[in-house]
Amino acid sequence: MRAKISVTVKIRGKKGFTVTLTIIRKDLKEPFDVSIVREGIDIKSVTVEKLKNGIIFVSVNQFNAKTNEEFSKAISDMILQEPKGLIVDLRFNGGGYLETAVDLLSYLLPTDANAVEIRQRGKDNEMIKTKGGPKILNAPLVILVNEGSASASEITAGSIQDNKRGIVMGTKTFGKGSVQEVENFADGSSLRLTIAKWFTPKGKTVNHVGLMPDIVVEMDKNDVKNKVDTQKDAAIKYLENLKK
């Protein structure tokens, strides 16, 4: 999974630029190159499912430019429904924009709560805080994570954990605690620069170590093969038990 996310990060970039991929196949003796031109892919990043007993399940698969708008609509609908519990699924979410993670946290935490700390060489440490706006604060919250949850997903989970807003459940996350910028050049090449590191509100880093959930729930191969979501089921059971 770590290799998959690393490859995805390298392929992503400004559309219109050419990327050369070196392909290795078992049935061929030599690798070969394939050149592709980056294009925009319009993928809905937020999906909502209303579960039994008033629990709402929200899957966020990436933190892109449209995530805030999509999550805002979902939150508005949720507030009207007065959910008895909320599950935010960040599994296999490789991250995205830091600002979008703060936007999402602004719906789940009080205004001016500590969201994430940025530490950059030559500059003062900056604690980024949540914004105002519509909020869903009363519903018990579970954040689902796994080894595919990276970057902005870890920012979100770490902030919820440090602010004691909810429970983080699943398996240890990927461990990407850096803030990066991408410079694209006319020849199609690009340079990815690490400009800062981020820390949770309580000063913890996940870089290369990952974030440990409050409640560890493993998924084995049989679960995946049989399409059984043990982690989702555990989150539902946890929220249901809170009401007893």
Whether residue 17 is predicted with pLDDT greater than 90 in this model: the reply is: no
Q: What is the pLDDT of residue 6?
A: 59
197, 179 in Cβ contact below 8 A? yes
Q: Is residue 192 part of a domain?
A: yes
Q: Is 176 designated active site?
A: yes
Q: What is the pLDDT of residue 195?
A: 92
Domain carrying residue 82 = 43-242
pLDDT of 139-197, one tens digit each? 999 999 999 999 999 999 999 999 999 999 999 999 999 998 878 788 767 788 899 99
Q: Is residue 10 part of a domain?
A: no
Q: Is residue 130 part of a domain?
A: yes
Selected catalytic residue, list 103, 106, 149, 162: 162
Q: Is residue 120 part of a domain?
A: yes
Task: Tell me the average pLDDT across 202-231.
Answer: 95
Q: Is residue 202 part of a domain?
A: yes
Q: Is residue 13 part of a domain?
A: no
CATH number at residue 65: 3.90.226.10
Whether residue 112 is predicted with pLDDT greater than 80 in this model: the reply is: yes
Q: What is the pLDDT of residue 4?
A: 54
Q: Is residue 20 part of a domain?
A: no
Whether residue 233 is predicted with pLDDT greater than 90 in this model: the reply is: yes
Q: Is 89 designated active site?
A: no
Selected catalytic residue, list 106, 153, 176, 232: 176
Task: Tell me the average pLDDT across 71-76.
Answer: 87
Q: Is residue 194 part of a domain?
A: yes
Task: Tell me the average pLDDT across 69-87.
Answer: 88
Number of structural domains (the chain) is: 1
Selected catalytic residue, list 106, 151, 153, 159: 151
Provide the residue type at 244 as one letter: K
Q: Is 106 designated active site?
A: no
Q: What is the pLDDT of residue 19?
A: 83
Whether residue 5 is predicted with pLDDT greater than 70 in this model: the reply is: no
Whether residue 40 is predicted with pLDDT greater than 90 in this model: the reply is: no
